[in-house]
Amino acid sequence: MDNFEDLTEPVSPSGQYFNTPPLCSYVFGFLELEIPIDDSQAMYLIQHLFLPINPRFSSIIVRDKDGNMKWKKVEVNPKDHFKVPVFPKNESIEFYDQDFDDYVSKILIERTPKDKPLWEIHVIKYPTSNAAYTIIFKLHHALGDGYSLMGALLSCLHRADDPSLPLSFPNRKSSQLLTPKRGFFKWFPSTIFSLFNSISDFGWSILKSSIIEDDKSPIWNGEEGSEFLPCALSNLSFSLDEIITIKSKLGVTINDVITGVIFYGIRLYMQEIDNKATTSNSTGLVLLSTRNIGSYQSIQDMTKADSKSPWGNHISFLHIPIPKLSQPSLSNPLDFVWKAQKIIKRKRSTFTVFLTEWLLDMQLKLRGHEAVAKHLYGTLRNSSVVMSNLIGPVEPMALANHPVKGLYFIMSGAPESIDIAVMSYARILRITLKTQKDLIDEQKFKLCMARAYEIISKAASMEIPNKKKIK
């Protein structure tokens, strides 16, 4: 029987609906090391560095006498969470690449036991094309969102050049919605216009989450239960400096460039599979952090009661229609970047994100966490692609003096056919693609993304600066 006196911290609303039968979601963090790390050293780091980060890493979710979900502190045996697969010895890099892919495909759809803290660490002790040694952190979304969990992971690392110095991150301006920087008579009409857009976007978002599905296409078939189907993971890497050059030439943001590349790559793939699919109504669901911050806070700051960026799940989403390749206005590949900029800028200048948060809160109060989970499940299932991004450190890092060659993340456990995660690290921007195996041709999809980047990069190099953007 549970000792209810030990149940002190309630599970957050988002933690409740991310841990239900309809929606059981995980964040995976991949740490690629240049040299192997000793097992005993890894266990020491888990015990003395990872577990103390947050009490939730040593807790399970239980219900109190009133039926409310609470975090209960338990004894943790790190060996129960430390997974080391065994592959054949003395094989080629290509062999281990395939074994790695098969193993990751398996753990992406497995659920962690509920009677243990909701995390696992998988250690791949075989070399792949990307690293000599790979550590995979599997963290349940009930523990926190990508920002919280990536912050926890980064707190275990240090700068490779000088551990005494803090990690630094690219500058990122906080998004201030509807800030009146101009005079009242110029600001007021734009605010009214934004209110109308907010109502329109919010209404469409509700319909998209419940009734309106994307058209069936080479990237979406609308099947239930796709969260349990095998999927493949692949990566593309681009120079962050090259992307900065493109964004400066086009007068957009880095996110606009990446979103334009992704949308264009998706349409190129659809065109190769079925030319008619280029006119399909397809949607990208963009996950957003609702934190008004510019970079990561320390774990100590995140866990403070008055933190501006508290630990937990602070996310919302926007539905972004994927531009159709056959639209006359998209005659230039760069138009996909400008179109992405226009759509995202308009939607982020509305109250839709906050209205979505309000709707989820109201559903939780009136109908309970499973109803919210079903709403989110429908939101994810009815969209063709889910996209998210995180910023990473500028400098190379190390884990206990073991150099980190690469860092990336992905989400799993939701019903979408394609997940795309973007993360920067040491001047390299990594795009991670999680695709449903029985639906998506993984290699062709990856090649289309790479081709989209090459085409847009080449077109941007010939572009006249400050050219009028697409309307």
pLDDT digits (tens, 9 = 90+) for 373-406: 888 888 899 999 999 998 889 999 999 999 999 9
Residues 233, 187: Cα–Cα separation, whole Å: 46
Task: Give the distance between the most distant pair of CA atoms in the chain.
Answer: 73
408-421 average pLDDT score: 93
146-151 average pLDDT score: 78
Is residue 184 pLDDT above 70, yes or no?
A: no
312-324 average pLDDT score: 77
CA atoms within 13 A on the CB side of 459: 19
First to last CA, the chain: 64
117 three-state secondary structure? coil
The contacts of residue 81 (CB under 8 Å, 6+ apart) are 46, 116, 117, 119, 120, 121
Residues 60, 197: Cα–Cα separation, whole Å: 42
Q: Give per-residue pLDDT as tens, 189-198.
A: 455 656 767 7
Among the residue ranges 143-152, 178-187, 302-311, 435-444, the one predicted with the least confidence is: 178-187
241-245 average pLDDT score: 95
Mean pLDDT for the chain overall: 84
Residues 235, 97: Cα–Cα separation, whole Å: 13
H/E run at residue 431: strand 428-436
Sheet containing 119-124: order of strands: 82-83, 119-124, 133-140, 26-33, 402-412, 397-399, 158-159
Angle at the Cα of 267 from the Cα atoms of 266 and 269, rounded to 5 degrees: 65
The contacts of residue 358 (CB under 8 Å, 6+ apart) are none
Is residue 176 pLDDT above 50, yes or no?
A: no
* 84 compared with 207, residue with greater pLDDT: 84
Is residue 87 pLDDT above 70, yes or no?
A: yes
Q: Which domains does the chain have, with CATH numbers?
A: 4-159 (3.30.559.10), 184-387+417-461 (3.30.559)
Is residue 181 pLDDT above 80, yes or no?
A: no
122 three-state secondary structure? strand
The contacts of residue 399 (CB under 8 Å, 6+ apart) are 31, 33, 37, 45, 135, 156, 157
Among the residue ranges 295-299, 403-407, 408-412, 461-465, the one predicted with the least confidence is: 295-299
CA distances from 194 to 204, 320, 348, 351, 365 (A): 15, 17, 10, 8, 28
Is residue 1 pLDDT above 50, yes or no?
A: no
Cβ atoms within 10 Å of 175's Cβ, excluding its own: 15
Is residue 178 pLDDT above 70, yes or no?
A: no
Q: Give per-residue pLDDT as tens, 331-368.
A: 789 999 999 898 888 877 777 778 887 888 888 888 88
> The tokens 């095998």 sit on which residue?
230
- The pLDDT assigned to 133 comes to 94
Residues 224, 226: Cα–Cα separation, whole Å: 6
Residues 289, 377: Cα–Cα separation, whole Å: 19
* Share above pLDDT 70 across residues of the chain, in percent, rounded to a whole number: 85
Residues 210, 232: Cα–Cα separation, whole Å: 28
Among the residue ranges 20-24, 163-167, 244-248, 419-423, the one predicted with the least confidence is: 20-24
CA atoms within 13 A on the CB side of 67: 2
pLDDT band at 229 (very low <50, low <70, confident <90, very high): very high
Is residue 186 pLDDT above 50, yes or no?
A: no
64-90 average pLDDT score: 91
Is residue 187 pLDDT above 50, yes or no?
A: no
Among the residue ranges 161-175, 368-382, 449-463, the one predicted with the least confidence is: 161-175
- The pLDDT assigned to 449 comes to 98
Question: Using CB atoms within 10 A of its CB, is residue 179 exposed (0-12), middle (13-18) or buried (19+)?
Answer: exposed
- The pLDDT assigned to 167 comes to 86
* 420 compared with 279, residue with greater pLDDT: 420
Sign of CA dihedral 423, 429, 432, 433: positive
Q: Give per-residue pLDDT as tens, 10-48.
A: 888 778 888 888 888 999 999 999 999 888 888 999 998
58-65 average pLDDT score: 89
pLDDT band at 219 (very low <50, low <70, confident <90, very high): very high
- The pLDDT assigned to 147 comes to 76
Report the 3 state secondary structure along 173-204.
CCCCCCCCCCCHHHHHHHHHHHHHHHHHHHHH
